[in-house]
Chains A and B, each alone.
Chain A
Amino acid sequence: MRAEDQDRAIAEVVSRVVGGVTQGGSQALERALAETIYHERKRVERGAPSRARTRALAAWDKRRSQLVRGSDTVRRRVLEELVTGFAREVLGNFDPRVHALATRAVPFGLSALLHASSPQQLLQRFPQLGLDDRIEVNGAVEHALALRDKGTLVCVPTHSSNLDSIVLGYGMHEQGFPPLLYGAGLNLFKNPLMGYFMRNLGAYTVDRRKTAPIYKQVLKEYAGVALEFGYHSLFFPGGTRSRSGEVESKLKLGLLGTTVKAYANKLARHDPKPGLFVVPMVLSYELVLEAETLIDDHLQAEGKARYIITDDEFSSPLRVFQFMRGILELDARIYLTLMPPRDPFGNLVDREGRSLDASGRTIDTSRYLCAAGDGPVDDPNRDQEYTRELGQQLTRDYLRGNTVFPTHLVAFAAFAELEAMHPQRDLYRLLRAGAEDESMVFGDLARSCDALRERLLAMEAAGEVRLSRRVRTLDGGDLVVHALRSWGTYHTHSALTRRGDRIDATDRNLLLYYRNRLQGYGLGAS
């Protein structure tokens, strides 16, 4: 966010969050404060012992006693201080001039990131290491570009990997999109070099260790205020990287809901460009950097799954390097597919920014914010339902924009074979087993892949999914061979391995992860 807007934004966020709390009266104020102090104190307590930790704990204790003794005026002031602190911390030092430089430097940035801890000679052997010619941006690019000056873009991509931020930042900039404001997990800022670029790519920090509801409220209000100020923004509506490998089917509606609210506020303020254009985006990878960690996390017993993962492949330069090498060797593309933009109510938008119904008639979207036959009215239940409507459209867009790679197709077919071999086993037993006599015949798997490919080709023709070049051209046997090679170049264990004319499911978790990308299309089983 530009420096001149920052103070205004902070003031706006603080007034909204504090106003929202105090509306609930004295009790609500007390509860919000107690809750925030509790969560923050707990967070500090979890840290390693240090002088700073002791000081911080004392500060929280002092606040707690203020809360107990203080009047509503004092409490309100304490809350304002806390919220202001959160808001300042969240805002990045966004500078458009640095942004232009930063995006150009992203491929370099990645190399440098690797350089920081991997052997110099490796880099010399692969001097071209970079993502630039690996990223293919396709779909409704022109359409979305045409809207950039007609209102505010809200880019909502799927989320598979921490590399998404870099792919998005780079890909969108290359296509001529303006800088996008977005909230990125603090772990991405941890690496000083990455942190520098992330901040200047337009990112603001999201600290997931901060569990106080007020902090989440600050994040949400900030996202909304930025949209109202006309900042083109980006956020992941899935909330976090897809653990299972599936295309997101359930979205976090909280952040998505800021679009309706921002639109209402822009209208009320007679903003000359009140339009908000939601651009669904799908990132498709042949290989996913963190696949092994993500699927393991997904398979943890419910409740044990970690929301924050700090020790995954992304934090290991060697793994990032192996991944990049894999992508290069395979001549693999990373697809960033833009789907046709929608308004905050889920309707499609034309290049002029007009919302259209199925017959191509223009919709007056301001009427959605009115009571039936009457003027504008505030109705949180209604707005929430609008957002649910938008969310449903987005999940359908994601499936349509998803690109299938050989790794997905072959994993899906192989997993179906496993399931057919053991129809009575549940998923977990299927994953745990692994005897050699359970191997598949190469020819059978190749035939299943052919059959699946035929179905996918028909689905692609109907616009229900996208296929990578190899899925379109290779036959079943070659697809199996290629998928095996892909997994082999990067993953610790390949999902499938070949022994003569037999195929073993060596890493079933990984197999499930890649297979899941085809979940949601009604292709059957699991």
Chain B
Amino acid sequence: MQADVAVLGGGSWGTILAHLAAHNGQRTTLYMRSPEACEVLNTTHTNPRYLGDSALHPGITATSDLELAVRGTPVVIFCVPSKASRAVARSAGAFITGDQVVLSATKGLEPESFHTVTALLRAETCALKLGALSGPNLAKEIMRGQPSATVVASHYREVIERATQALHSELFRIYGQDDLRGVELAGALKNVIAIACGAAAGLGFGHNVRALLVTRGLAEIQRLGVKLGADPLTFSGLAGVGDLMVTCSSELSRNFRVGRGIAQGKTLDEVVEELGEVAEGVNTTRVALALAAREGVQLPITEAVGALLDGEVQAQEILGDLMGRAARYEIDFDYTAEVG
């Protein structure tokens, strides 16, 4: 049986995307590396490692055979951590053909090249009909049957149509967008701000500080995004402020938990170990700082997060540094000049 949708990567978000597609009546394959995990999913319809005993749609077929998952499947969704994306893309590239719609659901940037995931999909496969999926989508809330929405960004109308057909339901609204770069950058960069918010929460700060970090954080990731070719409006949408709101205030967000853990005195390694999943924000912080240096953009909050992750300073000192910066205008009047 030829599937309609293949999801590559059986972490929590990948599993949920497969669940949403199956819920939508799509014949869905979920590619996972571990044959044992596939076996468990196919027999018990659960993914205990990431989603506990939540019941998954029985229409999902898990496989550890990449070719079986990818070959001939009209819609392929990449949902593997950014560090592994290139290797998986290269392997999957052997089976991908030019007609297929290929989406990235990973909110991260490749550490060495600073590439967005769709950029490395373009480099490693022959796929051109590429798109990215990003928005405020906490895995655990979706598994409880709560509604949510996301953005699908692509230059190709066919990609948006196929993604909508595959995923749009009363549980999951899809909004189309053509600022592919902006959506991918917003999705990745917001994780850095989530770490900052987690750190503030870990120090016992309340809502004022969080609101400060969210709005000023949004301003700085937008500044960098625009320099890299994003549409500023994208940052006011679901993939920008929408996603930021959720990741910066929820105990369920991995990146938030990283920040909180460090502020409470744990080391980065301890926190990551405890999480049991990849927190993209850790890597994205370093990429964002390198990009900011290259583009000549100031990112005070991201710099602070970088120092915190490197263990150079204590969380308390950082907030003091941030508050000690000179007063300035909220709206940067040079901003339009930068947009050109």
* Interface residues in chain A, defined as those with a beta carbon under 8 Å from any beta carbon in chain B: 345-347, 355, 357-359, 361, 363-374, 379, 381-382, 385-386, 388-389
Contacts and interface: CB of A to CB of B under 8 A. Distances in A.
B291 interface: no
Interface string B249-263: 000000000000000
A368 B99 CA distance: 5
A361 B157 CA distance: 27
B72 A345 contact: no
B140 interface: no
B129 interface: yes
A359 B162 contact: no
B94 A361 contact: yes
A367 B74 contact: no
Contact of A358 (B73, B75, B101, B124): B124
A361 B93 CA distance: 9
Contact of B98 (A361, A368, A381): A368
Contacts of B93: 357-359, 361
Nearest to B120: A358
Contact of B99 (A347, A361, A373): A373
B123 interface: yes
B97 A385 contact: no
The 8 closest A-B pairs by CB, nearest first: A373-B74, A368-B98, A372-B74, A367-B98, A370-B99, A367-B97, A363-B126, A367-B99
Contacts of B74: 372-374
Given A357-B93, A363-B98, A364-B97, A372 B155 contact: no
B205 interface: no
B: interface residue count bin: 20 to 34
Contacts of B98: 345, 363-368, 370
B156 A381 contact: yes
Nearest to A373: B74
Nearest to A386: B128
A372 B124 contact: no
Contacts of B99: 367-374
Contact of A382 (B90, B123, B126, B158): B158
B124 A389 contact: no
Interface string B143-164: 0000000000001111000100
Contacts of A374: 74, 99
Contacts of B101: 372
Contacts of B2: 373
A356 B195 CA distance: 41
B238 to A, nearest CB: 23
Nearest to A522: B294
A385 B155 CA distance: 7
A263 B328 CA distance: 57
B82 interface: no
B129 A372 contact: yes
Contact of A373 (B94, B100, B123, B157): B100
B125 interface: yes
A520 to B, nearest CB: 15
Contacts, number: 69
B139 to A, nearest CB: 27
A429 B158 CA distance: 48
A388 B93 CA distance: 22
A386 B127 CA distance: 11
A385 B162 contact: no
B72 A373 contact: yes
Interface of B: 2, 4, 72-75, 90, 93-94, 97-101, 123-126, 128-129, 155-158, 162
A357 B157 contact: no
Instruction: Among A355, A372, A374, find the residue whose CB has the most chain B CB atoms closer than 10 A.
Output: A372
A373 B96 CA distance: 11
A372 B73 CA distance: 8
Nearest to B73: A373
17 contacts: A345-B98, A358-B123, A358-B124, A359-B124, A361-B126, A370-B99, A371-B99, A371-B158, A372-B99, A373-B2, A373-B4, A381-B157, A382-B129, A382-B156, A382-B158, A385-B156, A388-B155
A374 B158 CA distance: 12
Given A385-B156, A389-B128, 16 more contacts: A346-B128, A347-B126, A357-B93, A358-B93, A361-B93, A364-B98, A365-B98, A367-B97, A369-B99, A370-B99, A371-B99, A372-B129, A373-B4, A373-B74, A373-B99, A382-B157
Contacts of B162: 372
A340 B129 CA distance: 24
Contacts of A382: 129, 156-158
A345 B128 contact: yes
Contacts of A371: 99, 158
Contacts of A355: 126
A345 B4 CA distance: 25
Contacts of A388: 155
A348 to B, nearest CB: 11
A373 B162 CA distance: 11
Instruction: Among A345, A364, A368, find the residue whose CB has the most chain B CB atoms closer than 10 A.
Output: A368
Nearest to B4: A373
B217 to A, nearest CB: 28
A372 B75 contact: yes
B4 to A, nearest CB: 8
Contact of B158 (A358, A372, A389): A372
Instruction: Among B73, B90, B99, B162, find the residue whose CB has the most chain A CB atoms closer than 10 A.
Output: B99
B159 to A, nearest CB: 9
Nearest to B294: A522
A221 to B, nearest CB: 24
A155 to B, nearest CB: 23
B163 to A, nearest CB: 10
A385 B131 CA distance: 13
A369 B158 CA distance: 12
Nearest to A372: B74
A386 B129 CA distance: 9
Contacts of B126: 347, 355, 357, 361, 363
Nearest to B76: A372
Contacts of A358: 93, 123-124
B25 to A, nearest CB: 16
B119 to A, nearest CB: 11
Nearest to B97: A367
A368 B128 contact: yes
Nearest to B124: A358
